[in-house]
Amino acid sequence: MSNSNYLQELLDSQELKDGCNELVALDSHRDEVDRILREAYPYSNITFTHGGSRAKGTMIRDDYDLDEVCYFENEDTTAGETLEEIYENITTLLEQSYDVRQKRSALRLCDSKGKDLKIDVIPGRYTDGTKTDVFLHQNEGDKERLKTNLEVHIRNVRDSGCTDVIKLGKLWRTRNGIKMKTFPLELLVIEVLSSDNAGSLEDRFKRVLEAFANEMDTLTIEDPANPAGNDLSSCLTDKLRGELSTIAQNTLDAAGEHGWRHVFGDVQKSQASMIPRVEVLRAAAASVATPSRPWANNG
């Protein structure tokens, strides 16, 4: 099997198809949250819909969740006068049925035993009657609110021509335990491939890793929905840039010496046997005789 065929088969194994157990479970909770919100605010014209990787076409089995936005019309104060009140009131409402963990702008849902349900609810309010841009409350950071646009984010990724490489990049991030949010990673992949997105899946993925390895200090990203108002520089700290550069080079070395199967493992391996080992990946790049595979469960 060629390298590109292997990588494509790997991506195919990561697909979550309609009707699979994972999506059925997500949709069941999504429908329940929708019911809770509409019963609580029967006179509000709430926009409750998919965001995130499912809408963008970049969802993978190894690392998935469901982003559901809950946007109120710009003059609707039923859920709160301010964005913070909306955020807190939706938290209180959902806490009647779920264990809710507040994030920067999202609410992560868990069941009564603390099990992560892999669902984020993002409350917000449209900036005007066009129902395009929205304001979100920010529970952390210097700015209390963030202006953004869900549809712009979705189109920017979904129509980039890079969704297959993005999914492979997300799998690479997850297998290597890199603590990086998905949206900045998506934007980085699109930025790298914006000047040259030609070639096979392997060609394009290697191009991304080479840029991470050699150009990480100069790569920049910006929010396509709010370039001036949403500073994403904090997402790419010096520490993260260094980590991305090092692991990207280790991956290229290991793949060049032993092939992509050595990097990602057999496609049919169980999830329990695919624990990422950055240290082993680094050792494998230097070892030729009897390399140990980076996805092996070494303890």
DSSP 74: T
Q: What pLDDT, on a 0 to 100 scale, did the predictor assign at position 268?
A: 62
Q: How far is CA 279 from CA 58, 208, 235, 264, 271, in A?
A: 28, 21, 24, 14, 19
Q: Report strand pairing: 116-126 vs 66-72.
A: parallel
Domains of the chain (ranges; CATH) run: 21-148 (3.30.460.90), 160-286 (1.10.1410.40)
Number of neighbouring beta carbons within 10 Å of residue 234:
9
pLDDT digits (tens, 9 = 90+) for 237-260: 999 999 999 999 999 999 999 999
Distances in Å between the Cα of 103 and the Cα atoms of 53, 119, 141, 197, 288 are 18, 12, 11, 34, 45
Average pLDDT rounded to a whole number, residues 104-110: 95
How far, CA to CA in Å, does 61 sit from each of 57, 64, 126, 171, 200?
Answer: 12, 6, 32, 9, 23
**Shortest CA distance to 56 belongs to which of 185, 142, 218, 180?**
185
What's the rounded Cα separation, in Å, for the pair 139 and 205?
35
What's the pLDDT band for 153 if we cut at 50, 70, 90?
very high
pLDDT (tens digit, 9 = 90+) per residue, 84-96? Answer: 999 999 999 999 9
Q: Using alpha carbons only, what angle is made at residue 55 by residues 54 and 58, rounded to the nearest 5 degrees?
A: 50
Q: What is the pLDDT of residue 53?
A: 93
Angle at which helix 163-175 crosses helix 150-158, to 10 degrees, equals 100
The Cα 281–Cα 283 span in angstroms is 5
Percent residues over pLDDT 90 in the chain: 77
Tell me how far apart the alpha carbons of residues 296 and 66 are, in angstroms, rounded to a whole number.
Answer: 29
Distance CA 231, CA 113 (A): 37
Q: 196-200, 252-256, 275-279: lowest mean pLDDT where?
A: 275-279
> Is 157:190 a contact under the CB 8 Å cutoff?
yes
> Of 61-75, 99-113, 121-135, 231-245, which range is least confident?
231-245
Amino acid at 76: D
pLDDT over 70, % of the chain: 88
Q: Which residue, among 285, 16, 287, 270, has the nearest Cα to 295 in the 3D structure?
A: 270
- Give the largest CA-CA distance in the chain: 69
pLDDT tens track for 207-224: 999 999 999 999 988 889
pLDDT bin (cut points 50, 70, 90) of residue 296 is: very low
pLDDT band at 228 (very low <50, low <70, confident <90, very high): confident
